[in-house]
């Protein structure tokens, strides 16, 4: 079965940080985002062919979806694709909490369908996966994927969907130079072998791999990402210096190289863009071809940092 998701652009755009914007304040990321700035991000992304937008009901408790819809106003629905998620931890207690959460997402997103719908995590695969089937049949969701699932959980979801003639079409896991558990667990190979698209999230480690942040210039004080990353920034210096040097040879930045690495590994990065300049970076990243020895060197430097950036919401792969 071919899937239009397999033909998606080489990079998807992530909007978790957008849930922090405006009145919601500086929650997880501590970023100051404005409606006009995000509108610029959308316009520039769309005109450069980056048309797949990833969000979740839980990002800013709906705010990311609302802000994304506002920023996309003026673009025809056929020109972009929407990816959002069912998060088991915020499920309601109605007859069909998946359908209910989807309806609220559709409402905030101002659309009658989602192109790619995810079960956000494997809290209870057997319980939640079957709820996707009627939504696929009705066309409210066009394709489905699973996020933060290990091999066994992917197989179980695939079996449940398979019995109804559908399948897991995409996997979305944390995957960066610093966090390669999905590769080590064979999930990347599995996806390649079965024509399942692997979306890598946090390829920039929420900014820690961009070289923008350092002990002298830490992440925004009081934000959740600062609590996770500021303490390990000194150990990342050699890696980010090397990313920057490889980028210098190609008129690109450290972030562009970190993104190009994830593309070179056969994955589709979901990059959490927060300003229009980041789109220029994605244009550069999709044109960068890293040599095998550069990839090996970056991975060795990443391993040498000895850091573990597994998210608090993630389990081992």
68 counts as binding ligand NAP under rule CB under 6 A: no
The residue among 87 and 99 lying less far from ligand NAP, judged by its C-beta, is: 87
Whether residue 12 contacts residue 199, with contact meaning beta carbons closer than 8 Å, is answered with yes
Do residues 198 and 182 lie in contact, with contact meaning Cβ atoms separated by under 8 Å? yes
Q: Which two tokens stand for residue 177?
A: 């130079």
Interaction between residue 20 and ligand NAP (CB under 6 A): no
The answer to whether 270 contacts ligand NAP (rule: CB under 6 A) is yes
Min. distance of Cβ 236 from ligand NAP in angstroms?
13
Selected binder of ligand NAP within 21, 84, 148, 267 (CB under 6 A)? 148
**Cα first-last separation, the chain:** 27
Smallest separation (angstroms) from ligand NAP to the CB of 138 = 24
Q: Does 204 help bind ligand NAP (rule: CB under 6 A)?
A: yes
Residue closer to ligand NAP (CB basis): 1 or 216: 216
The single residue among 166, 278, 286, 294 that binds ligand NAP, judged by CB under 6 A, is 278
Number of chain positions touching ligand NAP (CB under 6 A)? 28
Query: Minimum distance from CB of 12 to ligand NAP (Å)?
Result: 8
How far apart CA 115 and CA 79 sit, in angstroms, is 12
> Which of 21, 105, 182, 206 touches ligand NAP (CB under 6 A)?
206
- Comparing CA positions, the residue from 270, 309, 311, 278 lying closest to residue 84 is 270
CA angle, corner 173, sides to 63 and 118, nearest 5?
Answer: 55
Q: Which of 91, 102, 160, 202 binds ligand NAP (CB under 6 A)?
A: 202
- Determine, following the binding rule CB under 6 A, whether residue 10 of this chain makes contact with ligand NAP: no
What is the radius of gyration, based on Cα positions, of the chain? Answer: 19
Toward ligand NAP, which CB reaches closer, 131 or 225? 225
Q: Choose between 33 and 99: whose C-beta lies nearer to ligand NAP.
A: 33
Torsion sign over Cα 189, 190, 195, 199 = negative
Give me the long-range contacts of 214-219 (CB less than 8 A, separation at least 24). 214/240, 219/30
Asked if 240 is part of the footprint of ligand NAP (rule: CB under 6 A), the reply reads no
SS3 state of residue 201: strand
| 309 part of the interface to ligand NAP, by CB under 6 A | no
247-266 residues in contact with ligand NAP (CB under 6 A) are 255
| 267 vs 274, beta carbon nearer ligand NAP | 274
Distance CA(195)–CA(191), nearest Å, equals 6
Tell whether residue 281 is a contact of ligand NAP (CB under 6 A).
yes
253: left (phi over 0), alpha (psi -120 to 50) or beta: beta
Candidates 3-11, 96-104, 133-141, 199-207: pick the segment binding ligand NAP (CB under 6 A).
199-207
Q: Which residue has the tokens 């101002």?
A: 110
Interface with ligand NAP, residue 119, by CB under 6 A:
no
Q: How far is residue 185's CA from residue 8's CA, in Å, rounded to a whole number?
A: 25
How crowded is the C-beta side of 162, counted as CA atoms within 13 Å?
A: 6
Binding track, positions 94-113, relative to ligand NAP; x by CB under 6 A:
--------------------
Backbone angles phi, psi at 43, to 5 degrees: -60, -45
Q: What does the binding site for ligand NAP look like in residue numbers (CB under 6 A)?
A: 14-17, 29, 31, 54, 120, 147-148, 172, 201-207, 210, 212, 255, 270-274, 278, 281
């Amino acid at each position: 079965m071919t899937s239009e998701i397999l033909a998606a652009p080489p990079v998807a755009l992530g909007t978790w940080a957008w849930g922090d914007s405006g009145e919601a304040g500086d929650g997880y990321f501590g970023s100051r985002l404005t409606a006009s700035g995000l509108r610029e991000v959308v316009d520039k992304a769309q005109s450069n062919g980056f048309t797949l937008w990833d969000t979740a009901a839980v990002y800013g408790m709906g705010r990311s979806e609302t802000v994304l819809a506002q920023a996309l106003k003026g673009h025809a629905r056929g020109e972009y694709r929407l990816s959002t998620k069912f998060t088991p931890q915020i499920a309601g207690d109605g007859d069909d909490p998946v359908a209910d959460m989807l309806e609220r997402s559709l409402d905030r997103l101002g659309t009658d369908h989602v192109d790619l719908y995810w079960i956000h995590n494997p809290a209870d695969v057997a319980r939640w996966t079957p709820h996707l089937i009627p939504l696929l049949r009705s066309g409210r969701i066009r394709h489905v994927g699973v996020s933060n699932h290990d091999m066994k959980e992917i197989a179980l979801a695939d079996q449940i969907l398979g019995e109804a003639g559908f399948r897991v079409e995409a996997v979305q896991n944390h995957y960066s130079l610093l966090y390669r558990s999905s590769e080590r667990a064979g999930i990347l190979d599995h996806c390649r072998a079965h024509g399942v698209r692997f979306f890598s999230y946090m390829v920039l480690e929420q900014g820690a791999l961009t070289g923008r942040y350092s002990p002298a210039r830490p992440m925004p004080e009081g934000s959740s990402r600062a609590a996770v990353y500021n303490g390990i920034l000194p150990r990342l210096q050699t890696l980010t210096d090397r990313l920057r040097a490889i980028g210098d040879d190609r008129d690109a930045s450290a972030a562009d190289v970190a993104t190009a690495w994830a593309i070179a590994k056969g994955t589709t990065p979901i990059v959490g863009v927060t300003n229009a300049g980041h789109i220029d970076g994605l244009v550069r990243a999709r044109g960068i071809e890293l040599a095998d020895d550069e990839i090996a060197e970056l991975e060795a430097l990443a391993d040498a940092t000895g850091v573990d950036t597994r998210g608090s919401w993630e389990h081992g792969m």
